[in-house]
C-alpha cells in the first residue's frame, strides 16, 4: 500500500493543497457571513438569505473540503512517515484546532438561526483572523520544517 501511495504522492499532495485552499476560502468567508447575518434584523428576509448562504457554504465547500483535506493529509503523513516528525505534530495540532474552529462556527451559525446573538460583531470580526494566522503558521511548518 505504501509503495502505491509513494507512486501517487505528487498527485495526493496536489489534491491535498487544492482542497486546503477550498477549505481555507470557506473558513475565511464563513465568519464574514456570520457578521452580516448577526447584523441583519431577526426574522427579516435578509436574515433568511444569510441562513441559506451559510448552509450552502457549509454543504458545498466547507464540509466536503475538510473531509478530503483530512483523508489526503493522513495518507500523505503515512506515506512519508510524518508521525515521528516534530513539525508534523505541530501542524496536526493546528489542523485539529482549525477543525474545532470550523465546528464552533457551524454551531454559532445554528444558534444565530435560532435568534441567539451572544457575540458582538467585533468579536466575530476578530474570530475571522483565526484561519489566516493558523494557515500562515502551518505553511511555515510544512515548508521550513523548523523542528
- Could you identify the residue written with the cell 460583531? 121
- The burial class, CB within 10 Å (0-12 / 13-18 / 19+), for 130 is middle
Query: What's the CA gap between 83 and 92, in Å, rounded?
Result: 10
Q: Is 37 annotated as a binding residue?
A: no
Helix then strand then coil, % of the chain, to nearest 5? 85, 0, 15
- The burial class, CB within 10 Å (0-12 / 13-18 / 19+), for 118 is exposed
Q: Is 114 annotated as a binding residue?
A: no
Binding residues for heme: 16, 91
Binding residues: 16, 91
Amino acid at each position: 500500500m505504501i509503495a502505491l501511495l509513494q507512486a501517487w504522492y505528487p498527485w495526493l499532495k496536489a489534491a491535498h493543497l487544492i482542497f486546503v485552499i477550498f477549505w481555507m476560502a470557506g473558513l475565511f468567508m464563513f465568519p464574514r457571513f456570520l457578521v452580516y447575518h448577526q447584523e441583519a434584523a431577526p426574522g427579516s428576509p435578509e436574515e433568511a438569505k444569510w441562513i441559506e448562504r451559510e448552509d450552502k457554504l457549509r454543504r458545498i465547500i466547507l464540509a466536503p473540503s475538510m473531509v478530503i483535506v483530512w483523508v489526503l493529509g493522513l495518507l500523505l503523513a503515512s506515506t512519508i512517515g510524518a508521525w515521528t516528525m516534530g513539525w508534523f505534530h505541530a501542524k496536526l495540532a493546528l489542523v485539529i484546532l482549525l477543525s474545532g474552529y470550523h465546528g464552533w462556527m457551524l454551531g454559532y451559525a445554528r444558534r444565530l438561526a435560532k435568534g441567539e446573538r451572544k457575540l458582538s460583531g467585533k468579536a466575530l470580526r476578530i474570530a475571522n483572523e483565526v484561519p489566516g494566522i493558523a494557515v500562515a503558521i502551518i505553511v511555515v511548518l510544512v515548508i521550513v520544517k523548523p523542528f
